[in-house]
Amino acid sequence: MSELKLMKGNEALAEAAIRAGVDAYFGYPITPQSEVIEYLMTERPEERTGMVVLQAESEIAAINMVYGAASTGKKVMTSSSSPGISLKLEGISYLAGAELPSVIVNVVRGGPGLGTIQPSQADYFQSVKGGGHGDYKLYVLAPSSVQEMADFVEDAFNIAFKYRAPVLILSDGLIGQMMEKVNLKDQQERLTDEEVIKQNGDWATTGKTKNRERNIITSLDLQSEKMEARVRRLMKKYEQMEQEDMRYEEFQTEDADYLFVAYGSSARIAQKAVQLARAKGIKAGLLRPITLFPYPKKVLFDLADQVKGILSVELNAGQMVEDVRLSVEHKVPVEHFGRTGGIIHTPEEVLEALEQKIIK
């Protein structure tokens, strides 16, 4: 039993969070994601499920509130947009270092600096190449529809608790603001305090009982050998993520001579460009990475044996294209196409770029 609704991406994400039995949300207003906290405040989730919603004094406070609730084993999330995520990066590094399950949502706008409030995909590097300090990675999910904005909340928490690690949902102003129909899942019960303790009591700071040692949540190891062991433990998680939880989608790649690689909103536009290309007799296909880390490296490596060239389509000045190049190991030409400043490329522009940069 699900419910069909017409919603904005940001609202669908917020509603999905309530329905997924999330315990707490901490946020701070920033365009183009403010609808998340506005929707939550309007819905009174504390009455619907007991979910805590709090507007923090800053993005920094909000991510540290996430750290606090996550340290006790609760299901907790925050959302923001690019400049706000930059502020959260210290906290995200701590979440990774202290191995805390948590979900962060970035509804990306253009940068650098205050940039623009219009959609962008210019936070790819920040999301998959670290962003914050130290040796860590985020599991990054990139929704390309309002439906995925809703569905990825639960998926993100499943990964976060499977690995005890922070997970990023990397959306953008286009997916966050547009309205589409969305199938909402049924309400999932929030865990009771007793269930949280039963599930996470072996590591979470829920209060030291007589039958166990005290639990400590920290990212600090002053002993180098211990710190190195922690880093190795993290790297092992990331390896396991690559083996078990990498996600992607292919569109008309079976007979493709040319390949677009695009995620999120760009993938929708590239999909249309595939259709335009085929109408002109150009056999194009699309690979859409759903997880940006882990990245579908092997899939790309294999596709490079089949296609004559690859165009990485991104709403930025060229970021993911580096990973595409690394994946195909110079087997075929790889170029980038993308608009910036909040301008959304059209399918016609994308096809033209393929013809000019790859087919020639």
Residues found near other proteins in the complex (CB under 8 A): 23-24, 26, 52, 54, 56-58, 60-62, 64-69, 71-72, 74, 76, 90-91, 94, 98, 193, 205-210, 214-220
Sorted by sequence, the CB contacts under 8 Å of residue 47 that are 6+ apart come out as none
Q: What is the CA radius of gyration of the chain?
A: 21
**Nearest residue (CB) to other proteins, 207 versus 341:** 207
Q: How far is the CB of 34 from other proteins (least distance, A)?
A: 19
**Nearest residue (CB) to other proteins, 188 versus 240:** 188
Q: How far is the CB of 196 from other proteins (least distance, A)?
A: 9
d(CA 316, CA 262): 12
The length of the chain is: 360
Specify whether the CB–CB gap between 19 and 187 falls below 8 A.
yes
CA torsion through residues 64, 70, 74, 78, sign: positive
**Nearest residue (CB) to other proteins, 216 versus 235:** 216
Nearest-CA neighbor of 154 among 15, 296, 293?
15
Q: How far is the CB of 208 from other proteins (least distance, A)?
A: 5
d(CA 65, CA 193): 18
Q: How far is the CB of 59 from other proteins (least distance, A)?
A: 11
d(CA 326, CA 54): 42
Nearest-CA neighbor of 83 among 113, 124, 128?
113
**Nearest residue (CB) to other proteins, 59 versus 151:** 59
Q: How far is the CB of 191 from other proteins (least distance, A)?
A: 11
Q: How far is the CB of 223 from other proteins (least distance, A)?
A: 12
Q: How far is the CB of 162 from other proteins (least distance, A)?
A: 21
d(CA 83, CA 50): 30
* Farthest CA pair distance, the chain: 73
**Nearest residue (CB) to other proteins, 38 versus 90:** 90
Q: What's the order of all strands across the beta sheet hosting 309-313? A: 248-251, 284-289, 258-261, 309-313, 334-337
d(CA 66, CA 207): 18
